[in-house]
Amino acid sequence: MAVYKLTVPISEEQIRALKVGDQVLLSGVITTGRDAAHKYMIENFIHSDAVPPEEEALYHRLQEILHEGVIYHCGPVVGQREDGSYYFVAAGPTTSIREEPYEGEVIGHFGMRAVIGKGGMGPKTLAALQKNGAVYLHAVGGAATLIAQSVKEVVEVHKMEFGVPEAFWVIRVEDFPTVVTMDSHGNSIHEKIEEASKVQLEKLLA
C-alpha cells in the first residue's frame, strides 16, 4: 500500500492511480456537506430545469470548489473568534451511507474527485466512482479533534440557515489523513467486509 500526497484540484490520472488501501494526505480547499446540503444540490441544481436565480451565485461557487474537488461528510463543531472568523474545534467524519441516494449524481454533475466520510457507501456511489474517476476516502472516526488540526482555515460558509452541522463549510486543509476504501476500479473494502460478515452470519445461524 502506498502513501500519496494530493492537492486539490486533483486530476483523473492521479485518482486512477489510487487503489483500495492506499493512504492519502490531502491538502487544498474542500467543502463539508451532509444531508441538507446534498438534498439542496439535488433539488436546486441537478434535478431542476433551471437554477433558481437566488441560488446562482452559490451554484457557481460550488462548481469552482467541487470540480476536480472533494466533499467531506462532516458536521463540525465550530468556534468563532472576536473578529468574527470561524475555526474548527472538532471535524470528525459522519456516516456516509445516508448520502447514498444522492452522491453518485453529485459526483457526476460537479465532476468531483473524492468523497470523505466514514463507513463507506453503496453500489450507486461505487459505480459513479468508477465511471467518473473518483474515490471514497475513509477518515478515522473518533479522532475529531485530531482531524481538526488539519483544518488550517475556514475560508467561507454557505447556507448557515441549515444549521452549523449541515452548512457548507469551505475549508483549507493540509495533510488531512485518509485511506482509500473505495477506488475508481470498482473495488470496495466495505463491500468485501459486508460479504464476509454475511457468510459468517449464515454459519452462525445454520
Q: What is residue 197's predicted lDDT score, i.e. its pLDDT?
A: 43
For residue 118, give the DSSP letter: B
**Measured distance between the N- and C-terminal CA atoms of the chain, rounded to whole angstroms:** 37
Q: How far apart are CA 150 and CA 172, in angstroms?
A: 8
Q: Where are the domains of the chain?
A: 3-205
Q: What is residue 18's predicted lDDT score, i.e. its pLDDT?
A: 97
Q: What is residue 1's predicted lDDT score, i.e. its pLDDT?
A: 73
Q: List residues with catalytic annotation.
A: 38
Contact call for residues 92 and 144 (beta carbons, < 8 A): yes
One digit per residue, pLDDT tens: the chain, 206 residues?
789 999 999 999 999 999 999 999 999 999 999 999 999 999 999 999 999 999 999 999 999 999 999 999 999 999 999 999 999 998 889 999 999 999 999 999 999 999 999 999 999 999 999 999 999 999 976 666 778 889 999 999 999 999 999 999 999 999 999 999 999 999 998 766 555 444 454 555 55
Nearest to 115 by CA among 36, 41, 33, 192: 33
Q: Residue 201 carries which side chain, given as an amino acid letter?
A: L
Residue 135's beta-bridge partner residues? 114
E strand spans, the chain: 3-7, 23-32, 70-72, 77-80, 86-90, 114-117, 135-138, 151-158, 168-182
> Could you report the per-residue pLDDT of 96-132, keeping only the tens digit for each?
999 999 999 999 999 999 999 999 999 999 999 999 9
Q: How far apart are CA 87 and CA 172, in angstroms?
A: 11
Report residue 66 as a C-alpha cell. 467541487
Q: What is residue 14's predicted lDDT score, i.e. its pLDDT?
A: 97
CATH number for 3-205 (one of 3.20.130.10, 3.40.50.720, 3.30.1490.20, 3.40.50.150): it is 3.20.130.10
Contact call for residues 8 and 65 (beta carbons, < 8 A): no
Q: Can you say how many angstroms the Cα of residue 130 is from the centroid of all Cα atoms in its chain?
A: 16
Q: How far apart are CA 206 and CA 20, in angstroms?
A: 32
Q: What is residue 201's predicted lDDT score, i.e. its pLDDT?
A: 43
